[in-house]
Structure 1
């Protein structure tokens, strides 16, 4: 992707107006959520307590006129697509692409941030274009029971895919506060949760946990819907899923022991360069490995890489950086896998 296209894509995803100024500064009312002030909501916008706000327009311009991003291939051929089992009682995870994974556990099928569209954009003709097809064809999905929607950026909240899921599967959507206003027009059932709140879903309990990020769909709505991670507890073990986060000194990974031992952590490892611009909101592979260690998870899957180009690093750079980080932190390579679209993993049990 050329610098101009990447700049425009980032402007939309970051909620920064390419005409100048930060859109949040011009917004005086929250269009998605009307709730009480809290330690992470000021009455109009959500924020990261003691954390960093996302960059503004001047920084975006600095990035725009900085070094050229690495070239990505226009298209990457899949070696094959997965055809998952209808139900799994233990724990199996299949990568669809980017932040979309199929988690099958305790007889329940969960999709994270489902994205089957050709672009992560409000437009069908412009914006970040997927370089690799979904690792599961939409028609090969098993019955989808739950969608975990982490935040409202276009590469995570894809309304076209949600409408398709409504028509075929009608799952329950669980998402942080404010995103339910965006989901509502699809007709899907939606449960909005704050950090620290939980939803019972059959044999599973879904807990919303803090992470360090932000939100925006366009001009005027920056940080007006909440972002978060999820911890899923159930009979086959506990799973942490984070769609996007900055490392934030490790805070997203602290205190998770209250949910019991983590069998699996699903963590973002891509969209991290240049570091001066992305550091606060997108962790890199080394920080993801540190997050694995802080969380105490037995196993990890890396996602948010290799499907759509959002930042400067090469398509496969996160894979190399992850292997280097695992060696640096003396973590066995089999413990942390960066799944490619179509890869399926029967996650091993926790061993003492």
Structure 2
């Protein structure tokens, strides 16, 4: 076995989300995170977004060990200068922190979404996808955080070390879909983590509210806890307009986003993932590509879109610049101006 294949093999637990906590919890309970009532998207053991599950470990092994057209990321992909946000903003200011995290400052409220400040998106400090640029805002330069929103429990979105650090400094309210609070509290028992179902609307202040809505994705921290915690997107109502934030999603037939656009739109802004989509035979179920992201923007009736989930951690096979290049082509094909959908970089700011 070559060294590269050995490292791939060792990395499969990280890809699947291996952790001692998940394994030990699974041994005690069929679902270590959530034991609530059966619903149309929870069968008593696992959650579903209504689509059949078509990929498993065999497909992971096929992807990892078959001949791949993988374009390696550079060791360093230079980002713009780090931003230093103001303490508060009465309008709307959004800064990208790299990969999936954002800081939303709106109506005097500071909201952090899917914060990851760790060096790797992995359960291990020594192995797994390593960042190729620094966070768009240094942790010490973050303003006081009032609310943290977490979309799902994959390691590139739910970083318990970052959440523990934010809790220790600011003690914010942490809102996430069902089951994910257990993961956070296993690391920091005093964290103000609360878990909610799709369709739940929560006031964040007297001016801002959020609603958890479905996405086409999945969850796992360990090899034995797939889909045992819920995943979501967030609708955020603000005086500056409605915002839509997706952490990860597949496109499927697009009907979900037609429905959400009809029920909650139009939106002033949509933050949409545009990376981690190759190879399509394996990734398309759960990661949309830039062309599909443009379709989602239109279905949501979003005035402006920001593209994320690219350029910091290599999770899949496409090269570091492929997502913005593909986005440019998709916008041209759709007859839309490039400024309508902006591929974000760490430290870049969008304001309204």
Q: TM-score, normalised by structure 2?
A: 0.91
Supply the distance in 2 between the matched residues of 1:260 and 1:273 (Cα, whole angstroms): 30
What residue in structure 1 maps to residue 22 of structure 2?
none
For structure 1, list consecutive stretches of 5 or more residues without a partner in the other structure: 18-24, 348-352
Q: CA deviation at 1:184?
A: 1.5
Aligned to 2:121: 120
- The match for 2:161 is 160
Shift of 1:6: 5.6
CA distance in 1, matches of 2:40, 2:15: 25
Please give the residue correspondences for 1:20-59 in structure 2 after superposition, counting only pairs within 5 Å: 29-49=30-50, 51-53=51-53, 55-59=55-59
Are the counterparts in 2 of residues 238 and 264 from structure 1 also a CA contact under 8 Å? Answer: yes
Identify the residue that residue 82 of structure 1 maps to in structure 2. 83
Output the CA distance in 2 between the equivalents of 1:301 and 1:35: 35
Within 2, Cα distance between the matches of 1:16 and 1:81? 32
CA distance in 2, matches of 1:258, 1:224: 27
2:221 corresponds, among 217, 222, 239, to 217
Shift of the 108–317 alpha-carbon distance from structure 1 to 2, 3 Å rule, reads same
Q: Distance in 1 between matches of 2:258 and 2:7?
A: 37
Equivalent positions of 1:1-352 (< 5 A) are: 5=7, 8-9=10-11, 11-14=13-16, 29-49=30-50, 51-53=51-53, 55-64=55-64, 65-185=66-186, 186=188, 187-202=190-205, 203-256=207-260, 257-347=262-352
Alpha-carbon distance in 2 for matches of 1:264, 1:320: 21
- Counterparts in 2 of 1:27 and 1:295: CA distance versus 1, 3 Å: farther
Q: Is the 8 A contact 1:109 1:145 kept in 2?
A: yes
Distance verdict in 2 for CA 1:100–1:344, change over 3 Å: same
Report if the CA contact (8 A) 2:275-2:310 is conserved.
yes
C-alpha distance in 2 between matches for 1:248 and 1:135 = 31
Q: What is the rounded CA distance, in whole Å, between the counterparts of 1:103 and 1:141 in structure 2?
A: 11
Distance of 1:27 and 1:282 partners within structure 2: 32
TM-score (norm 1): 0.91
Instruction: Find the aligned partners of 2:55 and 2:9 in 1 and give their Cα distance.
Output: 13
1:236 shift after superposition: 1.2
Q: 1 CA distance for matches of 2:223 and 2:61?
A: 17
Question: In structure 1, the residue corresponding to 2:168 is in which secondary structure?
Answer: helix
- 3-state SS, counterpart of residue 248 of structure 1: coil
Aligned counterpart, 1:350: none
| Per-residue CA distance 1:153-195 (angstroms, 9 max, x = gap) | 0111001101110111111111000001011232221221111
Q: Quick one: distance in 2 between partners of 1:15 and 1:48?
A: 20
Q: Secondary structure at the match of 1:254?
A: helix
Q: Counterparts of 1:164 and 1:48 in 2: how far apart (Å)?
A: 32
Contact 1:3/1:68, CA 8 A, preserved across alignment: no
Listed as ranges, the gaps of 5+ residues in structure 2 are 20-25
How far, CA to CA, are the matches of 2:128 and 2:47 in structure 1? 26
CA distance in 1, matches of 2:221, 2:296: 28
CA drift of 1:7 comes to 6.2
Greater mean deviation of Cα atoms: 167-176 or 185-194: 185-194
Q: Output the CA distance in 2 between the equivalents of 1:104 and 1:291.
A: 24
Structure 1 CA distance, aligned partners of 2:105 and 2:54?
34
CA distance in 2, matches of 1:329, 1:181: 43
Question: Hey, what's the Cα distance between the residues in 1 that align with 2:251 and 2:103?
Answer: 24
Aligned residue-pair number: 338
- Distance in structure 2 (CA, Å) of the matches to 1:74 and 1:175: 33
2:265–2:302: 8 Å Cα contact kept in structure 1? no
Instruction: Look up the SS of the partner of 1:311 in the other structure.
Output: coil
Deviation at 1:13, TM superposition (A): 3.3
